[in-house]
Each structure stands twice: as structure tokens, then as C-alpha cells.
Amino acid sequence: MRRPEIVARYALLVLVLVLTVGPFLWQLSTSLKGAKEDIYTLTPSFIPEDPTLANYGSVAETIPVWAYSRNSLIVAFIVVAGNAIGATLAGYALAKLRFRGGRLVLGLFLATLVLPGEVTIISQYVTIRSLGLADTLLGVALPGAIGMLNVLLMRTAFQAIPA
């Protein structure tokens, strides 16, 4: 490659870096500013004059951030564990076990990949509500507990293993 092309590529990469990371750094800088600093001036400063972490404490007092984070971690754990275990078992069954209707089940799995998530959201809600899991963490995690794409990926992986 010629030198001007390399310089142009790196200049483009730096521009993309500034455009993607810049807003995050600006938010971080603004969150560290104290109450005395005016963030609405025409020429705001990027570096806080007197950095403080008090803003984070007031947010934690006002909004139950730790409870929200805990709930998110619980839901994420259930979804990941459900996908790892459920997709592995279903993928193995579709790849190695021969049973009547196996191709039909595989076809149904493939058909669900064609449907957008919005199509099934009402039926998922009705199912979760009828199970008594509405407004629970399990009710949030259960619809995503086994992804059909993960099942098909595991099926393909198990098919690659010789019998």
C-alpha cells in the first residue's frame, strides 16, 4: 500500500473513533462536573474544574440502580443458562436421535427463524400471564431461554461429530 492510502485509512479510523467514543467521554466528563459548573454555556469545558463523584451517589439514592442491575444479571443468567442447556439438548436430539417427525420438528424450528419477534410477542405474553409469571424475572427471561438459532447451531455442531 502507498503511504497516502495508509494515512487516509488511519485518518478515517481516528474520525470514526472520535464519533463513536466522543459522546461517551462527553457524558462521562459531564457526570463528573459539580453543581457550580454550568454545562449549558456556549463554550463548555471538556475537563471538569472540580471533579466529583457525588452525582453518582445522588443517582444511586434517587433511582434503585443496584436493584435494576441485579435484576438484569439474574435475567441474563437465566437466558444464557437456558440457551446453553436447552439448545445443547435439543441440538443433540435433532442431530443424533432418529425419531418419527424429526424432519417436521426441524422444519418448524427453521420456520420460526423466518418470523420476526414482534409476531410472537402477544402469544408469549398470554402464555406467561396464564402461567402466573407476569411481572416476574422468570417471566421476562423465559421467552428468550431457548433460541432456535442456537438449537440449529448446536445441531450442526453435533452433526459434525462422527458417530
Q: Which amino acid is at 23?
A: P
What is the model's pLDDT at position 33? 92
Mean pLDDT for the stretch of residues 39-61: 88
What is the model's pLDDT at position 68? 96
Mean pLDDT for the stretch of residues 93-99: 90
Mean pLDDT for the stretch of residues 113-128: 91
What is the model's pLDDT at position 41? 84
Global pTM exceeds 0.75: no
| CA angle in degrees (0–180, nearest 5) for 99-104-110 | 125
Q: Is the pLDDT of residue 85 over 90?
A: yes
What is the model's pLDDT at position 84? 96
Q: Is the pLDDT of residue 36 over 80?
A: yes
Q: Is the pLDDT of residue 116 over 80?
A: yes
Q: Is the pLDDT of residue 138 over 90?
A: yes
Q: Is the pLDDT of residue 13 over 90?
A: yes
**Nearest Cα to 150, choosing from 100, 101, 113, 111?**
113
Query: What are the residues whose beta carbons fall under 8 Å from the beta carbon of 49, sequence distance 6 or more?
Result: 33, 34, 36, 37
